[in-house]
Amino acid sequence: MTAPWHVTDALAHRYASGAAAEPDAWSLEKHVEVCGDCAVRVSAAVRAGGSGPTLADVRASLLATVRAEPATAPRRLGAGARPSDGPGLGAGGPALSPASRGARLLWAVGPALRGAWVVALLVVVAAAVGLAYGAGFRGARPALLALAPVLPLAGVAVSYGRHADPMYEIGVATPSGGLRLLLTRAAAVLGVCVPVLTAAGAVLPPVTGVPGAAAWLLPGLALTLAALALGSFVGCRAAAATLAAGWLLAVTGPVLGRSGASAELARYLSGPAAQGGWAAAAAVCAGLVALRRRSFDHLETR
């Protein structure tokens, strides 16, 4: 792991004077939310700068106004509300209804569930079912199982990052941004892929030697977590593209290009050894994501 990042005196002075680059300013503002020492350093730099006297006057005026007002008892918080929730979440206002909470969650996962990715997913599933029942193509089930683990990667690639999300810079700067927002959108992608692909695999005609419809779940989870881990270094789009290309070259191509596709696919997806390996890989990637969680608090530079 790299050493913890902190605001230097030079960066604090550049920020106070308005000379800091936009990505550096965003990173600084996000960092001081959780680092008291850096917040003190930046505050001192701002007070020492040209805007210091103006800020001092505003502070003095605000304190004088507060002291002149009569003290009032704090309003009672609603059930289950936290003081940090703010107006409308229990601080003297009505709690959010389930519909409002659902709307906020839908807004958060929005980029993961809109655009061409969902359409492409449905087209792949419809094509597999159509080829199996309309054209009698017996390779539809192996083909779908071979492609299923990489389909969530496309959803992850278009759900987060400066290339995919127009609100990316704002989201990174909020307390709910970074890894938390990325995991929410990755979960939304899996929430669509898992039922759709598993149900499609279950309705396709069975083929001797081909794994069951749920055999792709652990490989798909491992690849998704690997994309998040690698994305902490190179960005989500590059990470998803790299892993998808590697899977297509190493697994899908050989499986679809050989006559013994069933046995080859079973070697990758089914059996205690294969599933145990994918489970171990998923655990390792999840640990790496946890170790690299702070990297998602900074703007992508690629």
Q: Going by C-beta distance under 8 Å and a sequence separation of 6 or more, which residues neighbour residue 209?
A: 262, 263, 266
Predicted confidence at residue 110, as pLDDT, reads 55
249-263 exposure pattern, b = at least 16 Cβ within 10 A, e = fewer? eebbeebbeeeebbe
For residue 60, the model assigns a pLDDT of 85
What is the torsion angle, in degrees rounded to the nearest 10, for the CA atoms of residue 264, residue 277, residue 220 and residue 296?
Answer: -140
User: DSSP character for 251?
Assistant: I
d(CA 160, CA 169): 11
Res 280: pLDDT: 97
CA distance 164 to 239: 14
pLDDT on residue 80:
46
Buried b (16+ CB within 10 A) or exposed e, 66-76: eeeeeeeeeee
Q: Are 157 and 240 in contact (CB under 8 A)?
A: yes
| H or E segment to which residue 128 belongs | helix 116-134
Cα separation, 112 vs 100, whole angstroms = 19
Q: What's the pLDDT at 283?
A: 97
Q: What is the pLDDT of residues 149-197, one digit of tens each?
A: 999 998 888 887 777 776 777 777 776 677 888 888 888 889 889 999 9
Distance CA 289, CA 150 (A): 19
pLDDT of residue 91: 40
The whole-angstrom distance between residue 50's C-alpha and the CA centroid of its chain comes to 39
Residue with tokens 């496309």: 154
* Predicted TM-score of the model (pTM): 0.65
89-107 residues labelled b (16+ CB within 10 A) or e (exposed): bbbeeebbeeeeeeeeeee
Take residue 125 and report the two structure tokens written for it.
């599933």
3 state SS of 146: helix
Which of 186, 217, 223 has the alpha carbon at shortest distance from 201? 217
> What is residue 285's predicted lDDT score, i.e. its pLDDT?
96
Q: Would you write out the chain's pLDDT as a tens digit for each of its 302 residues?
A: 344 789 999 999 988 888 888 778 888 888 888 888 898 999 889 888 887 888 888 888 888 888 887 655 445 444 444 443 443 434 444 455 555 555 555 555 555 555 677 888 999 999 999 999 999 888 889 889 999 999 999 888 888 777 777 677 777 777 667 788 888 888 888 988 999 999 999 999 988 888 899 999 999 999 999 999 999 999 888 999 999 999 988 888 777 666 666 777 888 898 899 999 999 999 999 999 999 988 887 766 55
